[in-house]
Amino acid sequence: MNRRNAIRLTLIALLVGLALSEVLIPNAPSMSESSPGNNTLGMRLGLDLSGGIHLVYEADLTDIGNETAAEAMDGVVDIISRRVNAYGVSEPVIQKQGGDRISIQLPGIKDMQAAVDLVGQTAELDFRELTSESWEFVTQFIDQGLQLDYETLTQEGTIEWVPATAIGSAGQEAHLTGKYLERDTYVEIDQNTNEPRVRFAFNSEGAELFAQITGRLIEKPLGIFLDDGYVSSPTVKSKIEGGTGVIENMSLNDARDLAILLNAGALPVSLGHWDRGTFLSGPAVQDEVDPTLGADSLQKSLIAGAVGLILVLLFMAFFYRLPGVLAGCTLIIYGILVLAAFKLIPVTLTLAGIAAFILSIGMAVDANVLIFERLKEELRAGRTLGGAIEAGFNRAWTAIRDSNVTTLIICGILYWMGSNFAEPRVMGFALTLAIGVALSMFSAIVITRTFLRLFVGTRIAGHLWLFGAQRSEQTPGSEE
């Protein structure tokens, strides 16, 4: 074993060790923070493979005409899809049920309350100012230099807020609300206090209103309310022309959730349930359900898949002898690497993803088969093992490169088009396949080759039948 190969082998062992720990440790690092893993290994599974929460909400359509009701329900489906996607739950199933209900299935969420909060909130942000009486009341305390707790005062009803309005572009008075927000609200950390806050930006209309209102309220509090609940009331220091602002006074998790809600937009109607003619908050139905493909059915499929993979390994060992066994080892390592990548990125695993995974295993096997067929040819042509390995790899490389690059092109286009038209299942397929193909190239070219080189110059190299080329006619240099 030469030194370079020893170094390669050590690096591969290190990589496999890292990948294995990523797979086996449930809370291993992941590149996305808000992505709850939902099975024992901490992988994220889609609704077809993992159970989840089933919610049914009724919409309050009392103030809405019949024609706009259908439109409003479509809007609800759209906004909830956006919220759920932003929250990091992939492939939810959101459907209209009857005329005024909406059925939502969220895979992998264990926390019913989190699901209910995410879906059920109307998320209407609005800006308010104190009534003149309340302002006068408050001023006495401010003049004494006291810090006021606006939140408690508001809840106690000691002070009152009225909508903050300004003159809009159409010339009439408009209330500044979340509907003027651009969809690029995000969470940032205040450099001075180290506290999280939500930064929002208005569109041009909203920025104009915001500038007028802040210009009027200098040294006064601007109340920020979400669904009629007090959130915060910063004191305006100067007129804000840029059209952006921040919402403070909340935990990091609350800030992140608020950003998701504001980016998705407010629901056109309230969701809740009817109880004897009264509209209440909370879902009409909240159940835990098993995967759409059925837990029983999946169990059987999992076993069947394992049987199939073992058959593949046996076939490889039988047909390609020693290289086949090595390729089997490579495939197992390949499996570990792919799972680690899925968890690290993280990828939501669904049936589509598994199809892509099987396809990429097929391509990984294929890459190995291509190399071994070439290896056999080279050995039969009378090369030494070392020479045959290098020649075999070099000649198999163009086919492996072209087929994998073409597949990557398909993946790229599907992912890009998928993201434009929001088809999560196609995107998931493309992403999973791309990861699988990239790693399969790596495993065939780097890992299999390193393993094979181990045998160069050893006594095993003399036994050509181990490489499936025992009937070699010693005709060096023969081309035909």
Considering only residues 226-285, where is the footprint of other proteins by CB under 8 A? 273, 275-276, 282, 284-285
Q: How many CB atoms lie within 10 A of CB 383?
A: 19
Restricted to residues 309-328, the positions that interact with other proteins (CB under 8 A) are 309, 311-312, 315-316, 319
- In the complex with other proteins, the residue whose CB is nearer, 303 or 332, is 303
Q: How far is the CB of 458 from other proteins (least distance, A)?
A: 27
Selected from 26, 173, 409, 465, the binder of other proteins by CB under 8 A is 409
In which residue are the tokens 């396809």 written? Answer: 359
149: contact with other proteins by CB under 8 A: no
Q: Which residues contact 153 (CB under 8 A, 6 or more apart)?
A: 138, 159
Q: How far is the CB of 157 from other proteins (least distance, A)?
A: 25
From 27-35, 99-107, 198-206, 249-257, span contacting other proteins (CB under 8 A)? 99-107
Total residues binding other proteins (CB under 8 A): 83
Selected from 190, 294, 458, 475, the binder of other proteins by CB under 8 A is 294
| Interatomic CA distance for residues 48 and 148, integer angstroms | 52
| Interatomic CA distance for residues 174 and 413, integer angstroms | 44
Restricted to residues 332-391, the positions that interact with other proteins (CB under 8 A) are 351-352, 355-356, 358-359, 361-363, 365-366, 369-370, 373
From 180-188, 260-268, 378-386, 408-416, span contacting other proteins (CB under 8 A)? 408-416
472: contact with other proteins by CB under 8 A: no
Restricted to residues 172-231, the positions that interact with other proteins (CB under 8 A) are none
What's the per-residue H, E or C state across 18-71?
HHHHHHHCCCCCCCCCCCCCCCCCCCEECCCCCCEEEEEEEECCCCCCHHHHHH
Q: How many residues does the chain have?
A: 480
In sequence order, what E strands does 176-318 have? 186-189, 196-201, 223-226, 229-232, 244-247, 271-275, 278-280, 285-289
From 15-23, 115-123, 303-311, 452-460, span contacting other proteins (CB under 8 A)? 303-311
Q: How far is the CB of 282 from other proteins (least distance, A)?
A: 8
| Interatomic CA distance for residues 111 and 53, integer angstroms | 9
| 259, 369, 480 from 380: Cα distances, Å | 65, 16, 12
- In the complex with other proteins, the residue whose CB is nearer, 73 or 231, is 73
CA 417 to chain centre: 17
- In the complex with other proteins, the residue whose CB is nearer, 186 or 315, is 315
Restricted to residues 411-470, the positions that interact with other proteins (CB under 8 A) are 412-414, 417-418, 420-423, 425-426, 429, 433
Q: Token digits for 275? A: 């109880």
- In the complex with other proteins, the residue whose CB is nearer, 176 or 375, is 375
Q: Token digits for 357? A: 């995974």
Q: How far is the CB of 387 from other proteins (least distance, A)?
A: 19
What mask, x for binding other proteins by CB under 8 A, covers residues 42 to 71?
Answer: ---------x--x-x---------------
Strand 244-247 relative to strand 348-349: parallel, antiparallel, unpaired? unpaired
103: contact with other proteins by CB under 8 A: yes
Structural contact between residues 347 and 433, judged by C-beta atoms closer than 8 angstroms: no
Restricted to residues 380-399, the positions that interact with other proteins (CB under 8 A) are 395, 398-399
Structural contact between residues 208 and 169, judged by C-beta atoms closer than 8 angstroms: yes
329: contact with other proteins by CB under 8 A: no
Q: How far is the CB of 462 from other proteins (least distance, A)?
A: 25
Nearest to 341 by CA among 15, 77, 116: 15
In which residue are the tokens 């479509």 written? Answer: 74
Q: How far is the CB of 57 from other proteins (least distance, A)?
A: 12
**Which residues partner with 280 through β-bridges?**
273
Q: How far is the CB of 312 from other proteins (least distance, A)?
A: 5
